[in-house]
Chain A
Amino acid sequence: MSDKKNLKAKTGNEAMAEAMRQINPDVVAAYPITPATEIVQIFSQFVADGLVATEFVAVESEHSALSACIGASAAGARAMTGTSSQGLALMYEMMYIAAGLRLPIVMAEVNRALSAPINIHGDQSDTMCARDSGFLQIYCENSQEAYDSMIQAVRICEHPEVLLPATVSTDGFIISHCLEAIEMLKDEQVKEFVGTYKPKHWLLDVDHPFTLGAIDLQDYYFEHKRQEIEAMRKATKVVKEIGQEFGRKFGRSYDMLETYKLEDAEAAIVVLGSTAGTVKVVIDEMRKQGKKVGLLKLRVFRPFPFEDIREALKNIKIVGVMDRHDGYNAYVPPVCSEVRSCLYELDKRPKIASYVYGLGGRDITLEMITGIYNELLSGKISAEVKYSGVRE
């Protein structure tokens, strides 16, 4: 545990770029996009100033950014990238490939709404569309988590039982551009924590040539996908282990999810990202008025921590799940859908309400969250998805 706090004022983007500097990856290939541009820009300056040994590839598109990372990772390098929204959408094809080829690439991702209409602000529709890509998905409440999670993600992804890529996401502008005091680790601490990438097979190991990326037809594709599924399952254990190790070493532990005043809560909200912070403020206020409300913040959405969620929510009477993305007439949007599914196994299930909020960066206020809690506490909920904050 560090005795002296090394506090620095950093935006989410700066925090992620600083983490990348300290990780000092072999290759970074990236393309700018609002609101993630700064990550690439700041990192380019680190390269220009000789603060990292990284080979920086300023590619001509996000598709090529991830393609170059995939090539670099397969070649034996630790590779990283960063993007947002449309950039991530352009990468979707390559995301499945990075995961399928089992390449542990870490991506600094800033959540931003998808076009159309074009919008540059935060919602989680970009990463939600990639939820079955084989990437691990870590959602961060604040810059500190973003910084810490980037560092942990390297270890998680490169773990021999995982070997999958990950996105570490912050909410666009809300986190990416807001200044916060974060506690930074020393360069040597990060260097030691992340260690070096030691792949079993790497293309530049030319004395041991191999083929990677063969065509896999009906007779092998399923087996390889099954391996990938298993790796994602095992990632749950690895996320916890690395999160605990991080805590032991640096004083901030991490898990798949975090609960806040949930044990005795009558009504709970499930949410991911920066909104969790806002919800905590509301909880403190409402608790003062004697209202038993609590929070389940999902930090990791892939792998999905269904057992932990079940355990955490089994005694709650009513749960509101907040999605910053819609499923377009899916029964409920993705986070709600998965939370709801995993609770189905319980004999005594909480009632569940679904809320879609904050699309295109629409503010989610303390009042709106208070309103949701009051609605939950009243027990008067319907199966219909509610859209919080939209003008009728």
Chain B
Amino acid sequence: MANLKELATRPELLSGGHRLCAGCGAGIIARQVMMAAADKPVVVTNATGCLEVSTTIYPFSAWKTSWFHSAFENAAASCSGIEAAYKALKRTGKVDKDIRFIAFGGDGGTYDIGLQSLSGAMERRHRMLYVCYNNEAYMNTGIQRSSSTPLGAYTTTAPNGKVKKGKEQVRKNLTEILVAHNIPYVAQTAIGYWNDLITKVQKALDTAGPTFINVIQPCRLGWGYSPEDTVTLGRLAVETCLWPVYEVVNGKYKINVKPKEKKPIIEYLKLQSRFKHLFKPENESVITEIQRNIDEHWAWLHLMEEDTNK
């Protein structure tokens, strides 16, 4: 369990003065991850994306720790190289410190263009934590669909129109793809559960192997809501069971947040302009489908929890 009073004594590794939007969830995630990591030296690798461009506009960097970016699709591969260098230089005595490695990527850099390099790095068992700040579309280039974009959502490359209802496909389940890599630690969490996020980051960093955390990140611009609601929406994603907060530790599932009462998905959808068109009578079936998918996945997750803990 993390403790805010204690965390507040740690050095702040992400300074103000970065150019993320007001109320940006990526800033919250990056800060909280770094709070959790600040008790050890850490080297951060960033995939190209909102977080990277906004925090390091030359000649200003918001990062107070060693930070590296090279391209979009290769955060995990470059982090592999850094981690390999660490092993080599530790052997030769050029490095004597205990260092941790974190890679950040958005859903574009993680679910899509960076999936191959992520899969490779995980399979090779590099000791690193990969954090996906998942805002469910390519926000940096202006809200284009990704394979993480949920069914029905408006994006600029899967817009709704006279014949289309927004994205026509369900998102892929990347967290489960990572579980299938048989890595020691995979987790999902959301903005709004700071304690869960920070605890998970600490667990991941203490794991001697590859680890992955998928954090859903409301984006005020791409999702269409007021900036003060970023955390509220993160919480709603969990309270509706759309985005279960769970972890898989060495294959054992644990649902960390079980809402007492599952809120209907409408409560989440209606706050975001990207789903506005779904409230037209002719699109009702999409909302029904979204709710059915949530219910099925939530039930499946409980079965997994039960099965893997027998």
Please say whether the chains A and B touch (CB closer than 8 A).
yes
**Which of A63, A71, A213, A214 is packed against the most chain B CB atoms within 10 Å?**
A71
B74 within 8 A of A: yes
Q: Which residues of A contact B116 (CB under 8 A)?
A: 60-61, 64
The proximity string for A residues 81-125 relative to B, scoring 1 for CB distances below 8 Å and 0 otherwise, is: 000000000000110010001000000000000000000000000
Q: Is B259 an interface residue (CB 8 A)?
A: no
Q: Which of B20-28, B80-88, B167-175, B227-235 contacts A (4 or more CB under 8 A)?
A: B80-88
B63 CB contacts on chain A under 8 angstroms: 209, 211
B64 touches A209 (CB 8 A): yes
- Bitwise, A40-74 to B at CB < 8 A (1) or not (0) is 00000000000001110111110110011111111
Give Cα A27 to B124, complex, Å: 15
Contact B56 A213 (CB under 8 A): yes
Minimum CB distance partner of A61 in chain B: B116
Residues of B within 8 A of A211 (CB): 56, 61, 63, 67-68
Q: Tell me the complex Cα distance, A26–B64, Å.
A: 27
Chain B CB within 8 A of A330 CB = no
**From residue A53, how far is it (CB to closest CB) to chain B in Å?**
6
B85–A26 contact, CB under 8 A? Answer: yes
The smallest beta-carbon distance between B244 and chain A, in angstroms, is 29
Q: Is the CB of B84 within 8 A of A74?
A: no
Evaluate contact between A57 and B80: CB separation under 8 angstroms: yes
Closest to A219 in B: B58
Chain B interfacial positions (CB closer than 8 Å to A): 41-43, 45-46, 52-53, 56-59, 61, 63-71, 73-74, 77-82, 84-89, 91-92, 94-95, 97, 99, 116-117, 119-121, 123-124
B contact face: mostly helix, strand, loop, or mixed: mixed
Instruction: Tell me the bound Cα distance from A220 to B85 in angstroms.
Output: 30
**Shortest beta-carbon distance from B183 to chain A in Å:** 15
B78 and A206 form a contact (CB under 8 A): no
Q: In whole angstroms, what is the CA distance A69 to B78 when docked?
A: 7
Our pick among A59, A212, A216 for the contact of B67 (Cβ within 8 Å) is A212
State whether A215 and B56 are in contact (beta carbons under 8 Å apart), knowing that A60-B120, A67-B117, A76-B89 are contacts in the complex: yes
Contact B58 A71 (CB under 8 A): no
- Contact across chains for B124 and A58 when beta carbons are under 8 A apart: yes
CA distance A203 to B69 in the complex (A): 11
4 additional A-B residue pairs with CB within 8 Å, beyond A63-B73, A75-B43, A79-B81: A60-B119, A63-B117, A64-B121, A204-B95
Task: Tell me whether A72 and B70 are in contact in the complex, defined as CB-CB below 8 angstroms, given that A204-B95, A211-B63 are known contacts.
Answer: no
Asked if A390 CB lies within 8 Å of chain B CBs, one says no
CB neighbours of A68 from chain B (8 A): 77-78, 80-81, 84
Which among A26, A29, A209, A211 has the greatest number of chain B C-beta atoms within 10 A? A211
Listed A/B pairs (15) with beta-carbon separation below 8 Å: A27-B84, A29-B81, A53-B91, A55-B88, A60-B119, A64-B116, A71-B79, A73-B85, A74-B70, A94-B70, A212-B68, A215-B53, A217-B58, A220-B58, A220-B59
Q: How far is the CA of A75 from the CA of B128 in the complex (A)?
A: 15
- Check A163 for interface membership: any CB of B closer than 8 A: no
Any B CB within 8 A of the CB of A77: yes
B80 touches A213 (CB 8 A): no
A71 touching B82, Cβ below 8 Å: yes
B58 touching A67, Cβ below 8 Å: no
Instruction: Given A59-B120, A71-B78, check contact A79 B43 (CB 8 Å).
Output: no
Question: Considering residues B71, B84, B92, which has the most beta carbons from chain A within 10 angstroms of its beta carbon?
Answer: B84
Q: Are A67 and B57 in contact (CB under 8 A)?
A: no
Q: How far is the CB of A86 from chain B (nearest CB, A)?
A: 15
A69 and B46 CA atoms in complex are apart in Å by 16
Inter-chain contacts of B71 with A (CB < 8 A):
67, 93-94, 97
> Please, how many residues of chain A have a CB less than 8 angstroms from a CB on the other chain?
43
- CB atoms of B70 and A71 under 8 A apart: yes
Contact A69 B81, beta carbon cutoff 8 Å: yes
Closest to A97 in B: B70
- How far is it, in angstroms, between the C-alpha of A206 and the C-alpha of B43 when the chains are bound? 8
Asked whether A210 is an interface residue with its Cβ less than 8 Å from the other chain, the reply is: yes
Which residue of A is nearest B74, CB measured?
A67
- A residues apposed to B, CB below 8 Å: 26-27, 29, 53-55, 57-61, 63-64, 67-77, 79, 93-94, 97, 101, 203-206, 209-217, 220
Give every chain B residue within 8 A of A205 (Cβ-Cβ). 66
B120 to chain A: which residues have CB within 8 Å?
59-61, 64
Inter-chain contacts of B66 with A (CB < 8 A): 203-206, 209-210
Residue among B73, B84, B99 making CB contact with A77, cutoff 8 Å: B84
A60 touches which of B69, B88, B117 (Cβ 8 Å)? B117
Query: Which of B42, B52, B84 contacts A57 (CB under 8 A)?
Result: B84
Residues of chain A lying within 8 A (CB to CB) of residue B121: 64
A76 to B97, CA, bound (A): 14
User: Do the beta carbons of B43 and A70 come within 8 Å of each other?
Assistant: no
Complex: chain B residue closest to A206, CB-CB: B41
A67 touches B70 (CB 8 A): yes
The distance from the CB of B290 to the nearest CB of chain A, in whole angstroms, is 34
Residues of B within 8 A of A64 (CB): 74, 77, 80, 116-117, 120-121
Contacts of B88 in A (CB 8 A): 26-27, 53-55, 72, 77
List residues of chain B with CB within 8 A of the CB of A216.
Answer: 58
Q: Which of A63, A79, A217 contacts B74 (CB 8 A)?
A: A63
Q: What's the least CB distance linking A164 to chain B, in Å?
A: 16
The answer to whether A70 touches B70, judged by C-beta atoms less than 8 angstroms apart, is: yes
CA of A73 to CA of B116 in the docked complex: distance in angstroms?
22
Shortest beta-carbon contacts, A-B, top 7? A71-B81, A60-B120, A68-B81, A213-B69, A71-B78, A77-B85, A75-B85
Of A27, A58, A60, A71, which contacts B68 at CB under 8 A?
A: A71
Given known A53-B92, A71-B70, A212-B69, contact A206–B97 (CB-CB < 8 A): yes
Residues of B within 8 A of A54 (CB): 88
CA distance A93 to B48 in the complex (A): 13
A67 to B117, CA, bound (A): 9
Bound-state Cα–Cα, A7 to B193, Å:
67
Measured CB to CB, the closest approach of chain B to A277, in angstroms, equals 36
Cβ–Cβ < 8 Å partners of B91 in chain A: 53, 55
Which of chain A's residues have a CB closer than 8 A to the CB of B79? Answer: 71
What's the minimum C-beta distance from A23 to chain B, rounded to whole angstroms?
Answer: 13
A55 to B91, CA, bound (A): 10
Find out whether the CB atom of A26 lies under 8 angstroms from the CB atom of B74.
no
